[in-house]
Amino acid sequence: MFTAVAPGGAASALKPRDLAALVLLAALWGSSFLFMRIAAPQFGPVLLVAVRVGIAALMLVTLLAVRGHARALWRHWWVLLVLGVANTALPFALYAWAMLSIAASFAAVTNATAPLFAALIGWLWLRDKLSLAASVGLVVGFAGVVVLVWPRLSGAGDVSIWAVAACFGATLSYGWSANYTKRRLAGVDALVIAAGSQLYATLALLPLAIIGLPAESPSADAWFAALFLGVACTGFAYILYFRLLVRVGPARAVGVAYLVPVFGMLWGSALLDERITSTMMLACAIILAGIGLSSGVLRFPRLRR
């Protein structure tokens, strides 16, 4: 998922086609957990991510070249390399590894914690001010995390604690990347950031992917899943995200974070027969409430005399 801070812009009212694009984007990003669950066992985590981001890099760099801004990839190469590793290569690989032993629906819920980590790291690192509502939102959000992982910590769950840790390691990396982008890439075009991060993530992953080539060729289903991840869930989804940024502004575009866990659970249940537990639904609701408070979408009612 793309969590880097995008250039600002005035938000407009959501028109029906913008709302449809937002829902489609959430459906695509929510389905990425499903396709990782299918492809990761046969490709291996690193090779799968290399294929995924390689396809996305090809699409985005081509689009950037058509617009005549490809030189920006070299002008910011070091910062984009760090971002590519922290916002793409590392979290994608952690999620792909977790998918070897964890349900796609569970992973989708953990992904919702990325904005919470972004707010917390921004407060600790960049000294961003937190309002009372934002502070309460962080507490509420992380309370939802406790609800989600408590069965695993208490030994009641059937999921490896290391897989759970990998998921939260990925969202922590997303949160750090958002603040790194804000600090080092302010004012840089969002398409340059996305294309560059995918390109340099591919270059960083390539040596490890070659070393970790599987002994047997992946099946047709696994290849379809990998190609869908690269073309639809990453390349096309980023382009769709940029269009939303331009049309409705980043404040509304990042609302996709509220829908991704919902679609992740729906896809996992419908196509992989995964069980959506009441604990997962409760944790998801608490985490999303925390995001709403910390981002200002939800506000405390003002007291009147």
pLDDT in tens, 1-56: 645 444 344 444 568 888 899 899 999 999 999 999 999 999 999 999 999 999 99
Per-residue confidence (pLDDT) for residue 247, from 0 to 100: 79
Q: Is residue 2 one of the residues assigned to a domain?
A: no
- The SS3 assignment for 92 reads helix
- Burial of residue 129, with CB atoms counted within 10 A of its CB: 0-12 exposed, 13-18 middle, 19 or more buried: exposed
What is the phi/psi pair of residue 141, to 5°? -60, -45
Q: Is residue 173 one of the residues assigned to a domain?
A: yes
Q: Is residue 35 one of the residues assigned to a domain?
A: yes
Confidence of residue 73 (pLDDT cuts 50, 70, 90): very high
Phi-psi region of 275 (alpha: psi -120 to 50; beta: other; left: phi over 0): beta
**pTM to 2 decimal places:** 0.88
Per-residue confidence (pLDDT) for residue 1, from 0 to 100: 62
Nearest of 44, 138, 36, 53 to residue 89 by alpha carbon = 53
Per-residue confidence (pLDDT) for residue 54, from 0 to 100: 97
Q: Are 49 and 57 contacting, i.e. CB atoms less than 8 angstroms apart? A: no
Q: Is residue 305 one of the residues assigned to a domain?
A: no
User: How many angstroms separate the CA atoms of 24 and 263, rounded?
Assistant: 10
Q: Is residue 10 one of the residues assigned to a domain?
A: no
Q: Which domain holds residue 158?
A: 16-295
pLDDT tens by residue, 246-282? 777 766 776 787 889 999 999 999 999 998 889 899 9
Nearest of 39, 52, 40 to residue 205 by alpha carbon = 52
Percent pLDDT > 90 in the chain is 60
Per-residue confidence (pLDDT) for residue 294, from 0 to 100: 79
User: How many angstroms separate the CA atoms of 4 and 161, rounded?
Assistant: 28
Q: Are 198 and 234 contacting, i.e. CB atoms less than 8 angstroms apart? A: yes
Q: Is residue 4 one of the residues assigned to a domain?
A: no
Q: Are 259 and 26 contacting, i.e. CB atoms less than 8 angstroms apart? A: yes
Poorest-confidence range of 24-33, 69-78, 234-243, 295-304?
Answer: 295-304
Per-residue confidence (pLDDT) for residue 19, from 0 to 100: 86
User: How many angstroms separate the CA atoms of 230 and 219, rounded?
Assistant: 17
Cα→Cα distances 188→75, 115, 117, 295, Å: 11, 21, 23, 23
Q: Is residue 278 one of the residues assigned to a domain?
A: yes
Helix (H) or strand (E) holding 75: helix 72-75
Nearest of 207, 1, 212 to residue 91 by alpha carbon = 1
Confidence of residue 158 (pLDDT cuts 50, 70, 90): low
Split into its structural domains, the chain has a count of 1
Q: Is residue 11 one of the residues assigned to a domain?
A: no
Q: Are 284 and 265 contacting, i.e. CB atoms less than 8 angstroms apart? A: yes
Poorest-confidence range of 113-117, 236-240, 298-302?
Answer: 298-302
Per-residue confidence (pLDDT) for residue 250, from 0 to 100: 65
Residue 241 has pLDDT above 80, yes or no: yes
